[in-house]
C-alpha cells in the first residue's frame, strides 16, 4: 500500500515537472517573439485586434485568437520587410494573401485615402434604425432590394436625403435562400427572362446609379447570366459592384470585358453582428485604403452596424479619411 502511494506521488511530481517545463518554454518563446518583432508593429490610436506588422516579404492574415499560431508565424518570419504587411485578424483561421500590388489602380493611388461604405438590404424595414442611417454625416451608398414592402419609400427617402442609391439585385445562391421571387435571377433562366427581370428591378428603384448582388453565390459564378446583366447595365449607364459573395464570381471579369464600370468589395463589415467586431472591420477598411488609396466595405441595415458607423465615421474623418460614394471610386479608377 505504502509503495503504491509513493509511486502515485512520484508520478504526480513528474507530471507537474513536465507541465512546468512546457510553460517555461512557452513563456520564453512568447518573450522572444515580442522582443524581436516589436520594431515591425504599427499602432492605431483606436484599439483594433487586427494587429499590423511588416514581416518577411509577403502579406498574410493570421488568426489572433490562436495565440500560439500567431506567435509561431511571426517568429518564423525572420525579417521585417518595409514594403509588405502582415495583418493578424480575429476573423480568419488560416494564413491567406492580403494585398496584391498588381490590382491597385495608379490613378486612385494618387488620391486621398477614400472609403466607400455600402449598406445592403434596404426595403425590409421602416423604423428608427432606418432613420438613423439617413442621419449619418458621410457620403454613403445604400442598396435597395426591389419588390419589398418598403423598397419604394426607402429609395425615395435615400435619394431625397442625398445618399447614393443602387439596386441590390436578388440573385440565386448556392443554398436555400427564400424571398424576392419576382426579381431573383436564376442560372436556369433564359436570356429574355434575365433581361426582363433586371430592367424591372431598375425601374423599381428609380434614381439608382449602380447595382450590386444580393446573395448570388451561384448566379455570379455563371458567365452567361452575368453577361446578360452586364448588357443591361451598359445600356442604361450604371456601374456594377461585385459583392464577392463567392470566390468563383465572374462579375468583375465579365463587366470589364463588355465595358461596364465595375469595382469589387474589399471588406464585409458585419458578418458578425457585434458592434466591436464591426468597428474593427471599419478600421480594417481604413487600413486597406492606406495601402491602395481606397477601400469598399459592405454592411447591412442593422442596429449594430448603425452604432458602429456612428462611433467610427467622425474619428476617421478627423484622421484624414474621406468617405465617398462608390460612383466616385468607379469614376476615378476608370480614368
Say if residue 42's pLDDT is above 50. Answer: no
Q: Measure the CA–CA gap between 252 and 298, rounded to whole angstroms.
A: 16
Between 269 and 56, whose confidence is greater?
A: 269
Residue 49: the pLDDT is 35
Residue 147: the pLDDT is 94
In terms of C-beta density within 10 A (0-12 exposed, 13-18 middle, 19 or more buried), how is residue 79 classed? exposed
pLDDT in tens, 166-177: 999 999 999 888
The average confidence (pLDDT) of the chain is 79
Q: Measure the CA–CA gap between 192 and 228, rounded to whole angstroms.
A: 9
Residue 59: the pLDDT is 44
Between 55 and 9, whose confidence is greater?
A: 9
DSSP 286: H
Which residues fall within 8 angstroms of residue 6, CB to CB, at 6 or more apart? Answer: none
Give the pLDDT band (50/70/90) at residue 86: very low
pLDDT in tens, 189-233: 999 999 999 999 999 999 999 999 999 999 999 999 999 999 999
DSSP 183: T
Q: The sheet that has 86-88: what strands, in order across it?
A: 41-42, 51-53, 86-88, 60-61
Between 6 and 116, whose confidence is greater?
A: 116
Where b means 16+ CB within 10 Å and e means fewer, 184-216 reads bbbeebeeeebbebbeebbebbeebbbbbbbbb
The domain at 103-333 falls in which architecture?
Answer: Alpha-Beta Barrel (3.20)
Q: Measure the CA–CA gap between 167 and 199, rounded to whole angstroms.
A: 11
pLDDT in tens, 239-287: 999 999 999 999 999 999 999 999 999 999 999 999 999 999 999 999 9
Q: Measure the CA–CA gap between 140 and 245, rounded to whole angstroms.
A: 21
Give the pLDDT band (50/70/90) at residue 19: low
Q: Summarize the confidence of residues 85-90 as an average pLDDT.
A: 39
pLDDT in tens, 91-144: 333 333 333 333 334 444 445 699 999 999 999 999 999 999 999 999 999 999
Say if residue 8's pLDDT is above 80. Answer: no
Give the pLDDT band (50/70/90) at residue 333: confident
For residue 323, the SS3 value is strand
Q: In the chain, what are the domain boundaries?
A: 36-98, 103-333
Query: pTM to 2 decimals?
Result: 0.70
pLDDT in tens, 57-71: 444 444 343 333 333
Give the pLDDT band (50/70/90) at residue 180: confident
How many percent of the chain have pLDDT more than 70?
Answer: 66
| Cell numbers for 209 | 446609379
| Cell numbers for 2 | 505504502
- Give the least confident one: 20-29, 87-96, 119-128, 311-320: 87-96
Q: Measure the CA–CA gap between 313 and 297, rounded to whole angstroms.
A: 13
Q: Summarize the confidence of residues 136-164 as an average pLDDT.
A: 98
Say if residue 30's pLDDT is above 80. Answer: no
Angle at the Cα of 299 from the Cα atoms of 295 and 305, rounded to 5 degrees:
115
Strand 267-268 and strand 60-61: pairing? unpaired
Amino acid at each position: 500500500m505504502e509503495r503504491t502511494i509513493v509511486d502515485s506521488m512520484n508520478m504526480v511530481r513528474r507530471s507537474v515537472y513536465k507541465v512546468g517545463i512546457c510553460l517555461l518554454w512557452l513563456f520564453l518563446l512568447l518573450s522572444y517573439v515580442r522582443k524581436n518583432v516589436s520594431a515591425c508593429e504599427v499602432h492605431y490610436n483606436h484599439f483594433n485586434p487586427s494587429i499590423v506588422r511588416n514581416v518577411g516579404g509577403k502579406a498574410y492574415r493570421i488568426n489572433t485568437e490562436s495565440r500560439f499560431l500567431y506567435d509561431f508565424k511571426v517568429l518564423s518570419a525572420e525579417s521585417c520587410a518595409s514594403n509588405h504587411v502582415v495583418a493578424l485578424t480575429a476573423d480568419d483561421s488560416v494564413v491567406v494573401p492580403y494585398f496584391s500590388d498588381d490590382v491597385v489602380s495608379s490613378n486612385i493611388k494618387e488620391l486621398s485615402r477614400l472609403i466607400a461604405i455600402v449598406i445592403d438590404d434596404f426595403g425590409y424595414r421602416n423604423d428608427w434604425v432606418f432613420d438613423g442611417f439617413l442621419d449619418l454625416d458621410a457620403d454613403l451608398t445604400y442598396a435597395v432590394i426591389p419588390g419589398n414592402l418598403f423598397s419604394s419609400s426607402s429609395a425615395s427617402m435615400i435619394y431625397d436625403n442625398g445618399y447614393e442609391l443602387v439596386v441590390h439585385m436578388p440573385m440565386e445562391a448556392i443554398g436555400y435562400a427564400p424571398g424576392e421571387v419576382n426579381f431573383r435571377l436564376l442560372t436556369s433562366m433564359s436570356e429574355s427572362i434575365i433581361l426582363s427581370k433586371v430592367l424591372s428591378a431598375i425601374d423599381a428603384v428609380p434614381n439608382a446609379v449602380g447595382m450590386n448582388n444580393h446573395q448570388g453565390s451561384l448566379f455570379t459564378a455563371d458567365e452567361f447570366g452575368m453577361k446578360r446583366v452586364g448588357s443591361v447595365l451598359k445600356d442604361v449607364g450604371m456601374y456594377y459592384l461585385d459583392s464577392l459573395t463567392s470566390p468563383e464570381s465572374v462579375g468583375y471579369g465579365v463587366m470589364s470585358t463588355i465595358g461596364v464600370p465595375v469595382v469589387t468589395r474589399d471588406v464585409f463589415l458585419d458578418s458578425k453582428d457585434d458592434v466591436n467586431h464591426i468597428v474593427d472591420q471599419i478600421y480594417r477598411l481604413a487600413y486597406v485604403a492606406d495601402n491602395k488609396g481606397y477601400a469598399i466595405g459592405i454592411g447591412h441595415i442593422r442596429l449594430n452596424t448603425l452604432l458602429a458607423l456612428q462611433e467610427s465615421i467622425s474619428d476617421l474623418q478627423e484622421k484624414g479619411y474621406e468617405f465617398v460614394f462608390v460612383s466616385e471610386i468607379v469614376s476615378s479608377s476608370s480614368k
